[in-house]
Structure 1
Amino acid sequence: INAAVFGMVAHGIITGMLFFLAGSVKDRYHTMEMSRLGGLLQQAPRMGWILGFCVMASLGLPGLAGFWGEFPAILASYNPAEILNEAVFRSYMVIAAIGTVLAAGYLLWMLQKTAFGNARAEFADSPDITDASPREYLAWAPLLVLIVVLGFFPRLLHEATDPAVRESLQVEAVNGSPGDCLEVERGEECFERLRRVGEQAGSGR
């Protein structure tokens, strides 16, 4: 659960930054067709490096925020809780790993098409192609800092989400005392108890 929560937060930060960059590229080149792009590292080197940084973060490079969502989630699928079907979750792990490889291929291809090589003739001397502006740096800085900080200090987010994660697994044990559903019971009854607790919380009872 922690890996899934971390993955959603990291995805929001990294993908948000990639959307910022896509908008900046479109603002300069007036197109989003990758076949017409290229040479960003020549014409706007700082923006090109930031794009490369965000691509690496999205791929789950260790030391960046994306790593703590992808790798632990895949690893957890290899050894699921006893009440879960091991074969099913290991199949999920394989599917997730294949998806990670495909995503890496696409992102690296996108980076190669847009950032490397020489600028196309139609944009080679365009006055619109400028590097990142101070206003863009100001907007991007919080996201870039979070990508690095959460990559090196994932505990900051885990400490914020752990209470809610633990609370989601708390049910009344058989003897009436609070307990962890996955430790107190096994099988479908555990999930049925969690469902009832969720319904009661939603109805305010």
Structure 2
Amino acid sequence: DRDRLAKRILPRDVWTFHGLRPANRPERRLALAACWLSRPDFVPWLDDWVCQTETRPTPAAALLGHLTASDEYWSTHWTFRSGRFPKAQPLLGAGRLHDIAVNVILPWLYARASADDNTGLRQRVGERYFAWPKGQDNSRLRFVRQRLLGVRRISLRGAAAQQGLLQVQADFCNRTNALCDDCVFPDLVHRHSLEKR
């Protein structure tokens, strides 16, 4: 297989490999996308899934199960040239599957519903998004929680809250210094709370 596929390798300067874990290499990501797109039911299943009112065991588990794929070659290799490892490895871990659901699949379904001017479907996708369970904690989330809340601990209820914190970081925390000098976020929140009264 390796020799047959070797001629399809893109030039090395097209890829960025610095700091990548072997499991996250682009070759494996492309193989996963190919697995998804080669399944004739991939998109129709997503359309059905988002419209279902009851999904067992949960909507998140059903979608993550649908996104899980394996490939005879890529489940046992990191690269075209790497040796075969004894035990198959998933093409995507649970954390990354969660991120793809929240950052790619649900927004894509929402955009399709918007393009079709389908208010009911748009609302249904929104319900799925706001009910989506939170993902893994990470340094970016801890950073913005510490900046906003100090030592107080709060538990985020879902992925939408995590995405909101990441957006606050991108829009505000990344544009000020470590002391938060001249940060406009506190004033924005204060003005918004006054408008709601």
TM-score range, shorter chain: under 0.3
Higher helix share: 1
Query: Larger relative CO (CA 8 A, sep 6+): 1 or 2?
Result: 1
Larger Rg: 1
Give the TM-score normalised by the residue count of structure 2.
0.22
Give the TM-score normalised by the residue count of structure 1.
0.22
